Amino acid sequence: MKKQIQPLIWRWHLFAGLILAPFLLIIAITGAIYLFRVDIEEYIYKDYYNIEAESEQLPPSDLAFTALNTVGSGDITRYRPGEDDTRSAEVGITDGDGESLTVFINPYNREVLGIINDSNRPMEILAALHSELMAGTFGDRIVELVACWTIIMLISGLFLWFPKAKEKIKGVFTIRFNKAGRIRRRDLHAVPAFWISGGLLFFLLSGMLWTGFWGTGVQQLTTASGAGYPPSIWVGPAPESETVAEDIADVSWAAEQMPVADSDPSSGFRQVSIDEVIKTADAADTHPSYDIFYPASPEGVFTLSVFPPKAQDEATIHIDQYTGDVIADYRYDNYGPLGKAMALAITIHKGLEFGLLNQIIGVIICLGLIGMVITGVYMWWKRKPKGKSGAPKAKSIFEFKGMLSVLIILGLIFPLVGLSLIILFLLDRLIIRNNEKLRRWLNY
């Protein structure tokens, strides 16, 4: 049975690999660099981040006012106190032109250390390239589709790699460097691919949690399954709100779909100062690297959001803008089992959870993926006949009920895969089969 189906799987593996190759190179290279985002930004912005500790810091409201005056006009949207005595404060401002700026300010003497346009940050540009190819929603869907098909390629590749009964360790778990030509090229592609396959699968699935289609679906499933938000995180009854946390602030993945309770603008109180909000935040015993996001409407709330290196320190806290009271407090300990697993997966994906070891393993997997792409394309180029693809003879998928069933299941788990299969089927029937040159090159 394996001998009968192997040419078909090889054919799918080959064409999928050739189509995905440029996208995978972009994702792998940008991913390897982004693992060191914190270290890179610490170096790039060292003159903005680092200050000398002095006796007493000025009130946050004073610093925020200074930052706004420096920009000239706009609205304060975010305040980030330094996590220690030698870290500057950050004030996020949307200026009169709608640009998002970050002002770095010395909390001891009001000195403005620098102003950055957030959209021009190298790591923000890199993140946009990694996650959506800098093409917005369309790019996000392409990256999701690439990740889904890479999972299919891993499955098909392991099928092709799986050793025959009489094969030994060499060529299966180790590379036969003493062999020349096709055998060595095959080993350079297949053996490293086997060793990184588990880690690569983890990075693909954890990365897909950020995608706008599959990732959003997983979030909604997590919440709908009862693994979402326990009522105890709110002071009072859980709100019935169409506004969720990701609409008003940058929050952790687990908190993005969390309903937001409103502040009461009819309470007769004025908005509390950022000084009071910071006192509340400090009393909440959260990781010191938190951001405070300002309310965007009279009914809005202050949002304390913290993205610490370890998932166990994540927190999202909503504070009434008129009373200063905490009205929701959602932390890792409140997550359900699925939410905790997702949070850990994300911090590992970002290279944060286990520090340098996490980064090294991530880089190895990214380099392994780059090697897989290069060796796969090179192996195909060396063996393909002139004027042809070199793929095995085309066979109808309907002759192999088991493989067809697997593809249907994968199409249901990953809807974009299902959509792409329908498009491929239509292309095959309407275009490829009616074009003699394509038929010849594709070996129909």
Q: In angstroms, rounded to a whole number, what is the distance separating the alpha carbons of residues 429 and 433? A: 6
* Model confidence band, residue 179 (pLDDT cutoffs 50, 70, 90): confident
- Distance separating alpha carbons of residues 39 and 122, to the nearest angstrom: 13
Cα separation, 240 vs 260, in Å, equals 8
Lowest mean pLDDT among 118-122, 168-172, 177-181, 329-333: 168-172
User: How much is the pLDDT for 228?
Assistant: 57
- What does the pLDDT average to over 182-211? 94
Q: In what order do the strands lie in the sheet with 89-94?
A: 112-117, 100-105, 89-94, 75-80, 290-293, 301-306, 315-320, 326-331
Task: pLDDT band for 313, please (50, 70, 90 cuts).
Answer: very high
Strands 112-117 and 290-293: unpaired
What is the 3 state secondary structure string of the chain? CHHHHHHHHHHHHHHHHHHHHHHHHHHHHHHHHHCCHHHHHHHHCHHHHECCCCCCCCCHHHHHHHHHHHHCCCEEEEEECCCCCCECEEEEEECCCCCEEEEEECCCCCCEEEEEEHHHCHHHHHHHHHHHCCCHHHHHHHHHHHHHHHHHHHHHHHHHHCCCCCCCCECCCECCCCCCCHHHHHHHHHHHHHHHHHHHHHHHHHHHCCCCCHHHHHHHHHHHHHHCCCHHHECCCCCCCCCEHHHCCCCCHHHCCCECCCCCHHHCCCCCCHHHHHHHHHHCCCCCCEEEECCCCCCCEEEEEECCCCHHHCEEEEEECCCCCEEEEEEHHHCCHHHHHHHHHHHHHCCCCCHHHHHHHHHHHHHHHHHHHHHHHHHHHHHCCCCCCCCCCCCCHHHCHHHHHHHHHHHHHCHHHHHHHHHHHHHHHHCHHHCHHHHHHCCC
In this structure, how many other beta carbons lie within 10 angstroms of the beta carbon of residue 96? 11
pLDDT of residue 143: 97
The reported pLDDT for the residue numbered 166 is 60
- Please name the amino acid found at residue 363: V
Q: How confident is the model at residue 249 (pLDDT cuts 50, 70, 90)?
A: very high
Residues in contact with 36: Cβ distance below 8 Å, sequence separation at least 6, in sequence order: 351, 359
Q: Are 425 and 157 in contact (CB under 8 A)?
A: no
State both tokens at 17.
């690999």
Distance CA 334, CA 336 (A): 7
User: Quick check: 149 and 420 in contact, CB under 8 A?
Assistant: yes
Query: 315-320 and 326-331: which strand pairing?
Result: antiparallel
The whole-angstrom separation of Cα 41 and Cα 45 is 6
Write out the two tokens for 427. Answer: 């292309």
279 near 302, Cβ under 8 Å? Answer: no
Question: Please, are residues 198 and 157 in contact by the beta-carbon 8 Å criterion?
Answer: no
Q: What percent of the chain has pLDDT over 70?
A: 97
Give pLDDT, residue 167.
58
Tokens read off for 80: 């980030």
Instruction: Name 75's bridge partners.
Output: 94
- 120-162, pLDDT tens digit by residue? 999 999 999 999 999 999 999 999 999 999 999 999 999 999 8
Is residue 16 classed exposed, middle or buried when 0-12, 13-18 and 19+ CB atoms within 10 A define those classes?
middle
Residue 362 near residue 203, CB atoms below 8 Å: yes
Residue 339 pLDDT class (50, 70, 90 cuts): confident
pTM of this prediction? 0.91
**According to the model, what pLDDT value does residue 62 have?**
97
Q: Is the per-residue pLDDT at 2 higher than 80? A: no
Q: Are 279 and 345 in contact (CB under 8 A)?
A: no
Structure tokens given for 416: 């974009």
Residue 227 has pLDDT above 60, yes or no: no
Which structure tokens are listed for 324? Answer: 């200063």
What is residue 268's predicted lDDT score, i.e. its pLDDT? 77
Mean confidence (pLDDT) of the chain: 92
Q: Are the C-beta atoms of residues 441 and 388 closer than 8 Å to each other? A: yes
